[in-house]
Chain A
Amino acid sequence: MSQKLSIINPGKIVTVEGLEDSSLKPKLMEMGLIAGKQLKVLFRAPFGDPIAIDLGGFVLSLRLDEAKLIRVV
């Protein structure tokens, strides 16, 4: 039962299931967001957007619009 990364709360650890088709897909993958990748949601900016995620090696900040493209379990 996959959800969009954009609604995952800070502190939760999830695994990427897949990416929605979009012009950002290759860029997201190049940053390491591929199926099977484990990540932790760290915190959100004031206003809730962008969010910061821990990809085990580096921290990535992404907008909710971008997080919506990532399906996680």
Chain B
Amino acid sequence: MKIALLGNPNTGKSSVFNSLTGLRQHVGNFPGVTVDKKIGEFSVNDTKYKLTDFPGTYSIYPRSKDEEVVYKVLSTPSNENYPDLAIIVVDASNIERNLLLFTQIYDLKIPSILVLNMSDIASRKGIKVDLDAIKATFPNVEIVETNARIGLGIQRLKETIHAFKVQNNPFKPFIEGNKLLEISDLEGQSCEAEKRFSLIKKLLEKVMVTSDLSTDSRSNKIDRFLVHPIFGYLFFTIILFFLFQFIYVFASFPMDWIDKGFGAFSFWVGNQLPNGLFSDLISQGIVPGIGGVLVFVPQIALLFFFLSILEESGYLSRVVFILDRIMRPIGLNGKSVVPLLSSVACAIPGVMAARTISNWKERLITILVAPLMSCSARIPVYTLLIALVIPSKTIFGFINLQGFVLFCLYFLGLISALVVAAVMHLILKAKDSSFLLLEMPSYKLPRLRNISLNVLEKVKIFIFEAGKVILAISILLWVLATFGPGDRMDVSVEKLKKEQVFLSLEKEDQQQLIASEKLANSYIGILGKTIEPVIAPLGYDWKIGISLITSFAAREVFVGSLATIYSVHDDGEEQTSLINRMRKERRDDGSLVYSLASGVSLMIFYVYAMQCMATLAVVKRETKSWKWPIIQMVFMGVLAYVGALIAYNILL
């Protein structure tokens, strides 16, 4: 049986979904729409039910991209997602507004169960509802009271679902002669809403008693602080600061384990399999590729954990509230803050989060600038380069210079995102009106279960969306790095083996030198040498060129490539041997390859360059065309080149 979960935003619909399905949920795709559908399963006495969670909406008429799917499905009985049964979650402390959607669905003749959630808040406000009177107005509808956050009423809901039989009582439409689905003009829809609400008001006068009309005064008191002109922004900045400290510090431990683990695994696999190309593909292409994706999971999970707390508590809507006025002149919406913050973990879920922005232009600009927010993959690159060329000392007595430079790189990304957004705002033409109209839920204590499931969902998006692209490109790059034209590779390796320097080395060092020589003569090596004239003005040589190219799989591959090129063991987080080796590298004219100038130039390049193919793939899907990801890649590439050029020449 197919069940649809519907309701206004902020009714605890996700709590209901999570309570019913627990871990048995996953994300699928609504055909024809760029909205993911959350699907879950639960069973009652051996009967399995399929539950689809639809985006929260105030009425069936869509006002943003993610709401379109509700209308699309509910208006077409032949749609594969059309439900056999609808569960409509209503905030019991806010029944009047919630009943608009409910009565619309009821008039569509879809069998329904009305869930009066947040019953605790309702009773605290002294709201009493005559359930029997409601049932009399809506025959065939079952009503269940719940407090989904603590699981109250969920068992009864399951039983009600299980026992639900479509009655044969004559259908009493809420609004007579209703042609809900035929009204497509705004005037008509306004009339519809007006008619409905006047009937709802009459109904509630008969069945509902309330003693306290106003909202949670506790929340209001907290809001005095958090939207204060000074303290509000200060608090947000402090939160951001904690955010970064949190991820940076805590994520490094599990990341290190995963990194070493995969390194060892790759080594082991290489030994287990018979020597040969295929085993190399697996141990040097596929396994490191997968490891390269998984190593970021701790960081991304932590960041989304933090973001989920901000959202579940209700604080995020206040952030949107205080940032909206600042975002608007540059073409963004207050709601853009969520995609932009998410992009600091990974731009992929960040770009997808832009779906809640109704205005096409605001949404597009948000998507285009989101990757400029420095994501997790850039961190290994930044860390390596900073350790390489920035001296480890303190400025002004207490600020760590290296940490400060790292902060500056993030800040540069942020400022650039805002500037580029402003430029886009001037260039692109807006079609429809932009609006905020955001509900600010009462503050509440976030529930661990909801947060964990949310984090799990985002991590899965990262692993599968980013993962498949990264893996594919890793394999491609492995091919390009393992093979070279003709016998050029073999000839140069043979030559190397005869050199005095080579013969005097340990076996292990000899292996690494061979690997390095092979790489230099592979297709990628040749490609690196070919682009050298283009990147020379930025201070780079062909070896860096190779690493820039391999970064197209994923930015952090930069580090591993350099390790191979300089025939150094990948040393884990510290990378001391690589750094020492790189410090000694000199050009033909004797000057250092990795000077302050070229190091900073590389850092700036990585702030801007769009090297993540996985993000481009998602941008294409979200904007439904290749035009925008291509434009994005080009403008970011230009910014990277020009930025690096300026940096190199200023510092030289």
User: B-contacting residues of A (Cβ < 8 Å)?
Assistant: 19, 22-32, 34-36, 38, 40, 42-43, 45-47, 49-50, 52, 54-63, 65-66
Contact = CB atoms under 8 A, between A and B. Distances in A.
B61 A32 contact: no
Interface stretch (B138-146, B185-193, B262-270, B483-491): B185-193
Nearest to B93: A57
B197 A34 contact: yes
A19 B198 CA distance: 15
B436 interface: yes
A57 B441 CA distance: 10
Given A31-B437, A63-B436, A45 B324 contact: yes
B433 A23 contact: yes
A54 to B, nearest CB: 5
Given A34-B193, A57-B94, A47 B325 contact: yes
B435 A63 contact: yes
A24 B193 contact: no
Contacts of A55: 97
B94 A23 contact: no
A30 B61 contact: yes
Given A31-B58, A54-B215, A23 B186 contact: yes
Q: Which of B192, B198, B215, B223 has the most CB of A within 10 A?
A: B215
A66 B436 contact: yes
Contacts of A32: 96-97, 100, 197
B477 to A, nearest CB: 48
Given A26-B186, A27-B63, A59 B440 contact: yes
A25 B441 CA distance: 23
B58 A30 contact: yes
A25 B197 CA distance: 14
A19 B186 CA distance: 13
Given A32-B97, A34-B193, A57-B93, A43 B435 contact: no
Contacts of A52: 223, 227, 321, 440
Given A52-B223, A60-B440, A66-B435, A25 B214 contact: no
A66 to B, nearest CB: 6
25 contacts: A23-B432, A23-B433, A24-B433, A24-B435, A26-B61, A27-B63, A29-B190, A30-B58, A31-B437, A32-B100, A34-B194, A35-B194, A42-B223, A45-B227, A45-B324, A47-B229, A49-B324, A50-B324, A52-B227, A56-B214, A58-B441, A59-B215, A61-B439, A62-B436, A63-B435
A60 B569 CA distance: 57
B215 A57 contact: yes
Given A34-B197, A45-B325, A52-B321, A26 B189 contact: yes
Contact of B437 (A46, A47, A60): A60
Nearest to B220: A42
Contacts of B438: 60-62
Contacts of B192: 26
Contacts of B439: 31, 58-61
B42 interface: no
A49 B435 CA distance: 12
Nearest to A63: B436
Nearest to B224: A43
Contacts of A60: 437-440
Contacts of B440: 52, 58-61
Contacts of B219: 59
A20 B321 CA distance: 24
B184 to A, nearest CB: 11
Q: Which of A38, A49, A55 has the most CB of B within 10 A?
A: A55
Given A54-B214, A57-B215, 12 more contacts: A23-B433, A26-B193, A32-B197, A34-B194, A46-B233, A52-B223, A52-B440, A55-B97, A57-B94, A57-B96, A61-B438, A63-B435
B427 interface: no
B402 interface: no
Interface string B331-362: 00010000000000000000000000000000
B97 A57 contact: yes
B237 to A, nearest CB: 14
Contacts of A63: 324, 435-437
The 7 closest A-B pairs by CB, nearest first: A57-B94, A46-B229, A29-B193, A26-B189, A32-B97, A30-B59, A56-B213
B452 interface: no
Contacts of B233: 46
B232 to A, nearest CB: 7
Contact of B325 (A25, A35, A38, A50): A50
Contacts of B189: 26
Interface in B148-201: 186-187, 189-190, 192-194, 197-198, 201
Nearest to A48: B325
Pick from A30, A59, A60, A65 the residue with the most CB of B within 10 Å.
A30
Nearest to B186: A26
Contacts of A38: 213
Contacts of B61: 26, 30
Contact of A49 (B100, B227, B325): B325
Contacts of B197: 29, 32, 34
B222 to A, nearest CB: 12
Most buried by A among B63, B97, B228, B325: B97
Contacts of B224: 43
